[in-house]
Structure 1
Amino acid sequence: MRVLVVNAGSSTVKLALLDGDELVKQNSVDPGDARDALADLVSDPPDAVGHRIVHGGSRFTGPTVVDDEVVDELDALRALAPLHQGPALDALRQARDALPGVPQVACFDTAFHRTIPAAASTYAIPARWRDEFGVHRYGFHGLAHGWASRRAGELVGRPVGELRTVVAHLGSGASLCAVDRGRSVDTTMGHTPAAGLVMGSRGGDLDPAVPTYLLGRGLTPGEVDEGLNRAGGLKALAGTSDMREVVARADAGDPDATLALDVWAHRARALVAAMVAALGGLDVLAFSGGVGEHQPGLRARLVDGLGFLGVALDPARNAAADGDAVIGADGAAAATVVVHAREDLVIAGEVRQLLG
């Protein structure tokens, strides 16, 4: 079965056509150009299309064939993932228009986290908020976390079913996941993807009273949302959401960029330790995502502060890592690996399993 995978982010739409596990072609386009890119496939349409959807809400806990009702329900969740839900649904609509006879399947980042226990997913908030409004920890990046935890097991030569793994999916959006023998048991993102780590334009965890304080000081809800989702994080601290630029400026002695990296690393170390606590120990630390895969200096900075957890890097392996690699020091109690994110393979697999 030939599956076209559509992975829509906030600034790009990634297209990958897979025949089995073979990548036949791929492309990355601006959201507005997705319709033209999809139209190129009409002369030789795929057997199915799989879409990465960030938020599935409470109903969608596995891959789902898309119809008009599903689109409407997903559209109602836009406010819970403002940077991603809209672009993903726009790309989904464009794909349905360009390939009207081809089954479209939605695959959800929230689905992998459905195994998180109530102790980790429940917020200590009024019952009405939880019951009527569905406020709880959903977790995100599930497609990437599931892949990375399985691939990490292969790299260290042990089945994922016997490993306690922390996946650090680090990019412009970033989250950690505690994977206990293949099952997500905790993660850093919450009801929305704004929680947890410091990200490109999102500040991550924040005193929950700050938004209401700012509203009381005269800011509008839109201004608060802008600060939390689009003007926070590295962008707020260093003036750019591009980690590569922040690292280069910090290396050149820029104080704002240096502070941004200090804040980023402090938050990341604390939350890795929290994930290990949820697991009761650590067997593998897996780095993935654009930053996790391509910034050896930041991997080293993070791991250097986590020696008490039994992790240590081999500097030469860390510097040379390109794609999937073991970068941990020999003799370290816990292994450290880099895993190239392959959400496309996960989505294509879910599509094939659902459609038979």
Structure 2
Amino acid sequence: MTVTSATGAVLVLNAGSSSLKYQLINPDTEIVIADGIAERIGEMQSSITHHQGGETITQDAELPDHRTAISVAQDLFAECGTALATAGLLAVGHRVVHGGQIFHRPTLITDDVVEEVGRISDLAPLHNPANLIGIEAARSQLPQVPSVAVFDTAFFHGLPDAAATYAIDREVAEHYGVRRYGFHGTSHEYVSGRVADFLGRPIGEVNQIVLHLGNGASASAISGGRPIDTSMGMTPLEGLVMGTRSGDIDPGVLLHLNRVAQLGVDQIDTLLNKWSGLKGLCGENDFRSITEKMAAGDSGARKAYEVYIHRLRRYIGAYMIELGPVDAITFTAGVGENAASVRADALAGLEHYGIVVDAERNAVRSKEARRISADDATVDVLVVPTNEELAIARQAATVVG
């Protein structure tokens, strides 16, 4: 195969709790040279799909961890004619979930940065360790290419104090960095900008709710381009019901489990982060499987779905009050972009607020930004595919440029 030039391109690594998305993209032209995704990392049926030069390679693979997934991805790049070590990369951009109170802008990665990201990994135990694996692998295997960290918490760094503050002892909170940080910021920032473009309005004039619904899920209220609230808090555990995370829960439940069930801190951490949410309710965290089970009459799957929708509607209602007039409600990420039933049920019965989902438009599957609200609705309901990779590539290029 002919070697593909990647001069000026950025390799973006987006390591999630059980997946690894990667993309080789030119941040100026927005041309994607190659991309891929490794799915179900750490599970029995792992797979990786790689797209490059009009070709698609999909293969089952043993992917016990993210390090192995990155190694397999590099082999696929080389197989398709782009050996990353000699491709002329501008930078490697890494999605890092938690920046704590220190990191709130794109940051050139040094040994000190790696150490600090590791130190705050207990704030995002499902993600920061995976992010670090991507960082360490890239710095080791592509030492001549600068690595840049782009933090999920950065967009929400300036949340109003009322939204960022927990009502606990002030000195304890300040000493231990206890506050609401917010997550999925790269996605919320990108999508909110795309919404303004789609509506043909300056972002400073748009009040919007963005619903990032994937295996991890979060909601945000954005007024004039600035977030005023978000569902995730000090860690990505707070907020909406997620694939394996509980979202909001009475803190007293944790004390009860410790005292009565005699579960230790680590056991409770594992329970809430890995065995709760949709998986805890019905044994599945893949929405496709849940939909199939509901269609087959599975009551556990139906209950999980109803709990998921109930929590989502609660946040939508709260943000409508916080924002006052709402111009747009936007669905994004894997579930938000593809699950028509979730969009319809989340907004059902809100016609008196000017929110009306058009059933025919909602049923259309597309990778393009689109309006799914009725013509006579006063609130635009949109589906806008997120592109965290492009946003990360742009920020990484800015840092090294």
Q: Normalising TM by the smaller chain, what interval?
A: over 0.9
Match of 1:81, as an amino acid?
A
Q: Is 1:186 aligned to 2:229, yes or no?
A: yes
Residue of structure 2 equivalent to 1:9: 16
Equivalent pair of 1:166/1:275 in contact (CA under 8 Å): yes
The offset of 1:297, in angstroms, is 1.1
Residues in 2 aligned to 1:147 and 1:306: alpha-carbon distance in whole angstroms? 27
Match of 1:231, as an amino acid?
W
Q: C-alpha offsets along residues 62-86 of structure 1, whole Å, 9 cap, x if unaligned?
A: 0000000000000011111111110
1:127 to 162, 167, 170: 170
Residues in 2 aligned to 1:17 and 1:129: alpha-carbon distance in whole angstroms? 44
Residues in 2 aligned to 1:95 and 1:36: alpha-carbon distance in whole angstroms? 13
2:109 to 44, 50, 66: 66
Q: Is 1:35 aligned to 2:49, yes or no?
A: no
Structure 1 stretch 245-254 or stretch 324-333: which is displaced more? 245-254
**1:1-356 correspondence runs (5 A):** 1-19=8-26, 20=28, 21-29=30-38, 30=63, 31=66, 32-38=68-74, 40-217=83-260, 218-323=262-367, 324-356=369-401
- Secondary structure in structure 2 of the residue aligned to 1:42: helix
- Secondary structure in structure 1 of the residue aligned to 2:318: helix
Match of 2:190, as an amino acid?
W
Match of 2:32, as an amino acid?
L
Q: C-alpha offsets along residues 293-336 of structure 1, whole Å, 9 cap, x if unaligned?
A: 00011110111143343211111111014122111111111101
The offset of 1:355, in angstroms, is 2.2
Match of 2:292, as an amino acid?
A
The offset of 1:36, in angstroms, is 4.4
Structure 1 stretch 300-309 or stretch 244-253: which is displaced more? 300-309
Runs of 4+, deviation exceeding 4 Å:
none
Equivalent pair of 2:93/2:150 in contact (CA under 8 Å): yes
The offset of 1:143, in angstroms, is 0.4
Residues in 2 aligned to 1:229 and 1:191: alpha-carbon distance in whole angstroms? 14
User: What's the TM-score, normalizing by structure 1?
Assistant: 0.97
Residues in 2 aligned to 1:198 and 1:129: alpha-carbon distance in whole angstroms? 28
Residues in 1 aligned to 2:69 and 2:397: alpha-carbon distance in whole angstroms? 27
- Secondary structure in structure 2 of the residue aligned to 1:88: helix
- Secondary structure in structure 1 of the residue aligned to 2:157: helix
- Secondary structure in structure 2 of the residue aligned to 1:115: coil
Residue of structure 1 equivalent to 2:45: none
Q: C-alpha offsets along residues 94-131 of structure 1, whole Å, 9 cap, x if unaligned?
A: 00011101111000110000121001000000123311
- Secondary structure in structure 1 of the residue aligned to 2:284: coil
The offset of 1:185, in angstroms, is 0.9
Residues in 1 aligned to 2:355 and 2:158: alpha-carbon distance in whole angstroms? 26
Residues in 2 aligned to 1:147 and 1:174: alpha-carbon distance in whole angstroms? 16
Q: C-alpha offsets along residues 8-47 of structure 1, whole Å, 9 cap, x if unaligned?
A: 1111221101122111111223512213434741131411
The offset of 1:345, in angstroms, is 0.9
The offset of 1:138, in angstroms, is 0.1
- Secondary structure in structure 2 of the residue aligned to 1:340: coil
Residues in 1 aligned to 2:237 and 2:365: alpha-carbon distance in whole angstroms? 30
Residues in 2 aligned to 1:160 and 1:328: alpha-carbon distance in whole angstroms? 20
Equivalent pair of 2:90/2:397 in contact (CA under 8 Å): no
Equivalent pair of 1:35/1:98 in contact (CA under 8 Å): no
Calculate the aligned-residue CA RMSD, in Å: 1.3
User: What's the TM-score, normalizing by structure 2?
Assistant: 0.86
Match of 1:8, as an amino acid?
A
Equivalent pair of 1:170/1:292 in contact (CA under 8 Å): yes
Residue of structure 1 equivalent to 2:50: none
Residue of structure 1 equivalent to 2:53: none
- Secondary structure in structure 2 of the residue aligned to 1:285: strand
Residues in 1 aligned to 2:350 and 2:191: alpha-carbon distance in whole angstroms? 20
- Secondary structure in structure 1 of the residue aligned to 2:235: coil
